[in-house]
């Protein structure tokens, strides 16, 4: 008797707390409430990523009675594929009778209404609404914002993330782009509800609920209208372009075509659609603007010139004679112009893009000084832009070659590097940063996210680069000549409005080696080559020339020459940016206006209200 009392005391008084805890563990289940994902806006407040209502119907077996009959009736209202039906049947069998099983989702409002009206005939069927990510602007922001998708086991294994939200079935997390890089901020904080369950897990009642905290709102530096224009202007090629505000480093547009519809990924892309994307030689899935690494070609020449000026190894007025080629250690290095440029000074070397001039500089300066200058302009570094698949590019040094290639640096490598060929690689983003820095003399840094929850992030204005203004002026003057001198390589892509004059530099980067035999028999022109062996066309530019506002880099993969394929695109983009819409035809040279007008008509621009109509369609 005494033993019983003592034991009762031990259990109920001394160990009571421990058992109370165990009892609560038994009965209380904590269910997470998914917070709504943070919204993403462009710089003007246009919505880029939002959460749409996902209407679905769930079936509770014990309320349905005859589930087959209910499913059959439901099948008369909405179409359920036999596959899905089989899945639902399996799920119903597997789960307890009181667990709701999703029968169909992403239903239209009309379907939902009809189901609601027919509710008496559909016992156990409950309409339900959840949230799902949607991108009203479709492919325009596919590469920038990326997309979300359900958490996979792969994600769980690879991310050291204790966030309990990830355990919610079908919880969406950012897979690429800003959605991925800002995932933690966009995700928000999980809410929770505590529910009382009985021994078989049936929910008896809700004890309390803490609402989640929705994710942060992001505001980007991108202008959705310009972005749309850039995508449309590049369309039809495998190309990319970066538009940067030279003043503060804001990335106003980042084009990469072809693109894809991120909404397909959110809803679960079909394998047919997916293989279509992966099989396309134009690589729609890759974000070429930041992830593509191309030999910069002649756009690199300002870097080489500046490094020579800084080393004091060239006087801007010094004349170097171009005979069409130069011979170094028994090898001929050709200028793109076979007959040569003749007498070339620094300005002319840029305007007419003389290669021999830079072969000479390369021999004087050496690769390490050239690369040091390139790094100051952002080459070979990964900018902290919140996108995925960002390329480092490559700014080669002697050391680098020894380490990675186990070979000594050759003088020929320097010569190739001087014209942006060989080992040098840069992304369109790096080219845009380089151009912005040339235009301002400041260490402009790219910025993609303007503010988080209304709190502005630091801009990328940057401090002075420490380069003498006169040298930079030389570069800008040369670049002005490229576009505005009659002999300039981009003369055809000039504008005639003095307030928006463009400065630029063309580049053409070889994808193949031109052999000595080919050179003898005449170099095959790009048009005669298969697409994938044609040269990349590059162009860097800024405008207005006298007071730079925007820097634009364009790379058209296998587009042929930079002056023909890339420069006109950059001009149109610059004008679009400066005028905040289509510029008057008067800015273009008289002879080109008709052609440009025709081109404009062919352009497939999104209507300015596209996002809004999409909203109405759903509602």
Partner 1 sequence: MSYLEYSVKRVPVGISKIFFINWPLVLLICAVAAFGFLMLYSVAGGSMTPWAEPQIKRFIMGLVLMFIVAFVPVYFWRNMAVTIYLLTLMLLLLVEFFGITSMGAQRWINLGFMRLQPSELMKIALVLVLAAYYDWLPLNKTSHPLWVLAPVALILIPSYLVLRQPDLGTAILLMAGGGAVMFLAGVHWLYFAGVIGLTAGTVFSVFASRGTDWQLIKDYQFRRIDTFLDPSSDPLGAGYNITQSKIALGSGGWTGRGFMQGTQSRLNFLPEKQTDFIFTTLAEELGFIGGATLLGLYAAILIFCYSSAMVNRDRFSSLLILGIAAAFFLYFAINMSMVMGLAPVVGVPLPLVSYGGSAMLVILIAFGFVQSAHVHRPR
Which residues of this protein are in contact with partner 1, per CB under 8 A? 1, 3-5, 7-9, 11-13, 15-20, 22-24, 26-27, 196-200, 204
Nearer to partner 1 (CB atom), residue 195 or residue 311: 195
- For the record, the structure tokens of 56 come out as 């679905």
- For the record, the structure tokens of 386 come out as 């919140």
Residue 349 known to be catalytic: no
b/e string for 559-579 if b means 16 or more Cβ within 10 A?
bbbbbbbbbbbbbbbbbbbbe
Least Å distance, CB 206 to partner 1, is 14
Least Å distance, CB 169 to partner 1, is 25
Backbone angles phi, psi at 342, to 5 degrees: 75, -130
Q: Which residues pair with 57 in a beta bridge?
A: 104, 127
170, 161 Cβ separation under 8 angstroms = no
Nearer to partner 1 (CB atom), residue 20 or residue 512: 20
Query: How many CB atoms lie under 10 A from the CB of residue 325?
Result: 17
Nearer to partner 1 (CB atom), residue 198 or residue 453: 198
b/e string for 397-410 if b means 16 or more Cβ within 10 A?
bbebbeeeeeeebb
Least Å distance, CB 98 to partner 1, is 14
420, 509 Cβ separation under 8 angstroms = yes
Report how far residue 307's alpha carbon sits from residue 313's, in angstroms, rounded to the nearest whole number: 9
Nearer to partner 1 (CB atom), residue 198 or residue 515: 198
69, 49 Cβ separation under 8 angstroms = no
Residues in the chain: 619
Nearer to partner 1 (CB atom), residue 94 or residue 205: 205
Least Å distance, CB 2 to partner 1, is 10
Report how far residue 34's alpha carbon sits from residue 168's, in angstroms, rounded to the nearest whole number: 8
Least Å distance, CB 208 to partner 1, is 15
- List of long-range contacts for 326-334, beta carbons under 8 Å, 24+ apart: 326/356, 326/359, 326/360, 326/415, 328/359, 328/363, 328/411, 328/412, 328/415, 329/410, 329/411, 329/412, 331/412, 332/516, 333/359, 333/412, 333/415, 334/514, 334/519
Nearer to partner 1 (CB atom), residue 106 or residue 202: 202
Instruction: Tell me the CA distances in angstroms from 165 to 33, 88, 158, 216, one per residue in order.
Output: 8, 25, 16, 16
Nearer to partner 1 (CB atom), residue 20 or residue 184: 20
CA–chain centroid gap for 544, Å, is 26
Which is catalytic among the residues 240, 298, 307, 509?
A: 298
Least Å distance, CB 6 to partner 1, is 10
Of 371, 374, 370, 376, nearest to 465 by C-alpha is 376
Nearer to partner 1 (CB atom), residue 15 or residue 594: 15
Of 161, 163, 158, 148, nearest to 38 by C-alpha is 148
Least Å distance, CB 192 to partner 1, is 19
Least Å distance, CB 97 to partner 1, is 15
The percent of the chain in helix, strand and coil, each rounded to the nearest 5, is: 45, 20, 35
Catalytic residues: 298
């Amino acid at each position: 008797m005494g033993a019983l009392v003592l034991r009762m005391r031990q259990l109920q008084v001394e160990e009571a707390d421990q058992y109370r805890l165990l009892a609560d563990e038994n009965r209380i289940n904590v269910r997470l409430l998914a917070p709504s994902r943070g919204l993403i806006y462009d710089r003007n407040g246009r919505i880029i990523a939002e959460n749409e209502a996902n209407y679905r119907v769930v079936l509770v077996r014990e309320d349905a009675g005859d589930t087959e009959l209910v499913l059959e009736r439901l099948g008369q209202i909405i179409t359920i594929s036999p596959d899905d039906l089989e899945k639902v049947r399996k799920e119903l069998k597997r789960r307890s009778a009181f667990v709701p099983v999703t029968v169909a989702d992403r239903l239209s409002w009309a379907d939902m209404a009809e189901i609601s009206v027919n509710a008496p005939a559909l016992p156990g069927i409950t309409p339900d609404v959840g949230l799902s990510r949607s991108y009203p602007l479709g492919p325009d922001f596919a590469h920038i914002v990326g997309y979300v998708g359900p958490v996979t086991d792969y994600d769980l294994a690879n991310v050291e993330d204790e966030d309990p939200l990830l355990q919610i079935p079908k919880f969406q997390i950012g897979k690429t782009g800003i959605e991925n890089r800002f995932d933690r901020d966009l995700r928000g904080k999980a809410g929770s509800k505590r529910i009382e369950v009985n021994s078989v897990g049936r929910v008896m009642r809700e004890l309390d609920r803490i609402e989640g905290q929705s994710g942060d709102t992001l505001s980007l530096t991108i202008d959705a209208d310009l972005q749309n224009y850039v995508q449309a202007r590049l369309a039809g090629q495998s190309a990319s372009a970066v538009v940067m505000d030279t003043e503060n480093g804001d990335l106003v547009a980042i084009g990469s075509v072809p693109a894809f519809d991120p909404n397909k990924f959110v809803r679960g892309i079909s394998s047919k659609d997916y293989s279509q994307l992966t099989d396309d030689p134009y690589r729609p899935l890759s974000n070429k603007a930041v992830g593509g690494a191309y030999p910069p070609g002649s756009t690199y020449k300002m870097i080489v010139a500046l490094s020579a000026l800084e080393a004091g190894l060239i006087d801007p007025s010094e004349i170097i004679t171009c005979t069409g080629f130069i011979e170094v250690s028994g090898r001929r290095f050709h200028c793109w112009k076979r007959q040569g440029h003749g007498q070339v000074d620094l300005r002319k070397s840029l305007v007419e893009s003389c290669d021999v001039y830079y072969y000479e500089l390369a021999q004087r300066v050496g690769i390490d000084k050239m690369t040091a200058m390139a790094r100051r302009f952002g080459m070979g570094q990964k900018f902290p832009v919140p996108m995925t698949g960002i390329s480092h590019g490559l700014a080669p040094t002697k050391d680098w070659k020894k380490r990675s290639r186990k070979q000594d640096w050759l003088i020929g490598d320097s010569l190739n590097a001087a014209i942006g060929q060989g080992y040098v690689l840069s992304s369109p983003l790096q080219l845009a940063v380089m151009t912005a820095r040339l235009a301002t003399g400041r260490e402009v840094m790219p910025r993609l996210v303007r503010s988080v929850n209304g709190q502005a992030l630091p801009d990328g204005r940057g401090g002075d680069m420490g380069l003498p203004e006169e040298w930079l002026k030389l570069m800008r003057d040369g670049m002005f000549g490229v576009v505005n001198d009659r002999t300039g390589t981009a003369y055809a892509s000039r504008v005639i409005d003095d307030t928006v004059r463009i400065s630029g530099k063309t580049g053409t980067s070889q994808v193949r080696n031109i052999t000595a035999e080919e050179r003898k028999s005449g170099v095959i022109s790009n048009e005669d080559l298969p697409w994938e062996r044609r040269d990349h066309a590059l162009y860097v530019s800024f405008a207005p020339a006298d007071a730079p506002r925007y820097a634009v880099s364009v790379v058209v993969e296998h587009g042929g020459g930079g002056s023909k394929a890339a420069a006109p695109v950059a001009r149109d983009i610059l004008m679009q940016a400066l005028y905040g819409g289509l510029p008057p035809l008067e800015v273009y040279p008289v002879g080109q206006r008709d052609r440009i007008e025709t081109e404009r008509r062919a352009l497939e621009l999104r209507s300015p209200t596209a996002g809004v109509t999409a909203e109405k369609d759903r509602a």
